[in-house]
Structure 1
């Protein structure tokens, strides 16, 4: 909580419709806090509400999760020291090719 003591009270009368409109606009649980933030913060310095993340195809998300799991397994094996230097070079080369393909896919879908 804030250390600022708020001892002044401002009462605002409004209709039921106006009150419901205020509550609908207020993303916070406490209307007074939102009103102070909204009314007393200079324009341009007010925090902008977060945008909802774009929807993602669940099948694509599962595929990406699988790819991530495979990459983690590869990294674990490489870091374990079980592979020779030549094996590591081959894996790093393959990972670089995958990275280029993923970058191309990302560019296509933006």
Structure 2
């Protein structure tokens, strides 16, 4: 379920190198913005109940590469550069890629 508090506004501040270093020294967390929100507003952020799962970096690289390839294909299909037969061939290839992604998803689900 989505958080009832949606943060839509952004505040940008300028600090010197020394001030930034001091803020980082004071901040026990990795996320400076979260820490500053807690300090200034007194609003503690809810902690995750379970830590985010670690993902194999090799898998992430493969998925990123596939995403890049799909974007390139979509760009060419939308450009009108390919004829109907080329588009049918691409649809068949994309369907095969979709099946492979489903397999990857199934194989890498956390029990």
Q: Scaled by the length of structure 2, what TM-score is found?
A: 0.55
- Alignment of structure 1 residues 32-47 onto 2, 5 Å: 33-34=42-43
Aligned mates of 1:31, 1:79 — CA distance in 2 = 48
Partner residue, 2:90? 91
In 1, distance between residues paired with 2:59 and 2:94? 20
- Structure 2: state its 5+ residue gaps: 1-33
1:49 alignment partner in structure 2:
47
Unaligned runs of 5+ in 1: 1-26, 38-46
Q: 1:30 is paired with a residue of what secondary structure?
A: helix
Number of residue pairs the alignment of both structures matches: 75
Which protein is bigger by CA-based radius of gyration? 1
Task: Give the TM-score normalised by the residue count of structure 1.
Answer: 0.55
Distance in 1, matches of 2:90 and 2:41, equals 58
Could you say which residue in structure 2 is the equivalent of 1:15?
none
Deviation digits for residues 1-32 of structure 1, max 9, x if unmatched? xxxxxxxxxxxxxxxxxxxxxxxxxx853398
Mapped partners of 1:83, 1:68: distance in 2: 20
